[in-house]
Structure 1
Amino acid sequence: MARGSRFDIKDFDKALKKAEDALEQGMRNGLDAVRDDWLESSRQITPIATGKLRNETEAEVNGTKLDNLEIVVTNNAKTQDGFQYAHYIHEENFGGKTPHNGMEKKFLDKPLEKNEEKYKQTLEQEIEKQVRKAGW
């Protein structure tokens, strides 16, 4: 006669859910820290004439689940007549001028390029912190 066994995996299921929640929280915390640093670093090297370009730089963490979280950094500064000033400076040869005094044409891109390893470490540390906190 064949014999069967049943396994109760409710506790294991709960532990996996807790681990997933910890991973997501760690990723969110890490992305928040990266976002803040990236935004501040971008503002520090944004060309400044009136301050509008620097003040219009924004960043947010988008997404709801672990597999679609992302940081979006934008600058939509326009002149009074609607000219896309931010795009012109960032993408269109800086108006033919050379940035000076530590300012950068690619003020949104440079901080990410410069700090990529630091940002990866920040994400890893925040994820590890949350996972350990959850008991893993």
Structure 2
Amino acid sequence: MPKLGDNARAHMRRKQAGAFAIIQNLAQTAEGEMKTGATWTDRTATARRALHSGARPMGKNKIVMYLAHGVKYGTFLEEGTKPHVIRPKNKKALYWRGAAHPVKKVNHPGTKSRPIVLPTAKKYKGKIKQALAKWWGMQ
């Protein structure tokens, strides 16, 4: 025979599992929006493919949704860069196909920021609150 409160505990576990599923689903939707909405020009599409998201339980009553770049240069895409000098690391000069001759340095003009993770996170913050409020019967 079930003890008093067993039904309530089972109900809470189902509600918590449902909340996790809602956040996971929103994370996948957000990931798709990031991949289609990224405004940079792809050369290899590696940065676009590496955008990812997910949900993780944190402790007993917390769930974290994350959106992230999966490439080392994701920060540069998100925030841009200031003008800077590029120098060779392992050689005496820099050379690339199409260059007239090797050079000792390149004055890079910087890159414009093309944020996608932060704007998407801000957009989904409200969607998560709304979906969870509805799920928990607060709306």
TM-score normalized by structure 1? 0.64
- The alpha-carbon deviation at position 26 of structure 1 amounts to 1.8
Flag structure 2 segments of 5+ consecutive residues without an equivalent. 83-108
Give the equivalent residue in structure 2 for 1:88. Answer: 76
Q: Higher strand share goes to which structure?
A: 2
> Partner of 1:106: helix, strand, or coil?
coil
Could you tell me how far apart the structure 2 residues matched to 1:66 and 1:106 are? 33
Deviation at 1:65, TM superposition (A): 5.3
Establish whether residue 25 from structure 1 lines up as the match of residue 25 from structure 2: no
Answer yes or no: is the 8 Å Cα contact 1:24–1:66 preserved in 2.
no
2:64 matched to 1:76?
Answer: no
Query: If each structure's helix is expressed as a fraction of its own residues, which one has the higher value?
Result: 1
Identity of aligned residues (%): 10
Provide the aligned C-alpha RMSD in A.
2.6
Q: CA deviation at 1:64?
A: 6.2
Q: Which runs of 4+ in 1 moved over 4 A?
A: none
Query: For residues 63 and 42 of structure 1, what CA distance do their matches in structure 2 show?
Result: 23
Tell me, which stretches of 5 or more residues in structure 1 are unaligned? Answer: 1-8, 78-83, 100-104, 129-136
- Count of equivalent residues: 108
Would the alpha carbon gap of residues 126 and 40 (structure 1) be closer, same or farther in structure 2, given more than 3 Å must change?
farther
Q: Corresponding residue for 1:112?
A: 121
Q: 1:21 to 1:96 in 2, by over 3 A?
A: same
Q: TM-score scaled by structure 2? A: 0.63
- Give 1:67 deviation, angstroms: 1.7
Relative contact order higher in (CA < 8 Å, ≥ 6 apart): 1
Question: Match of 1:102?
Answer: none
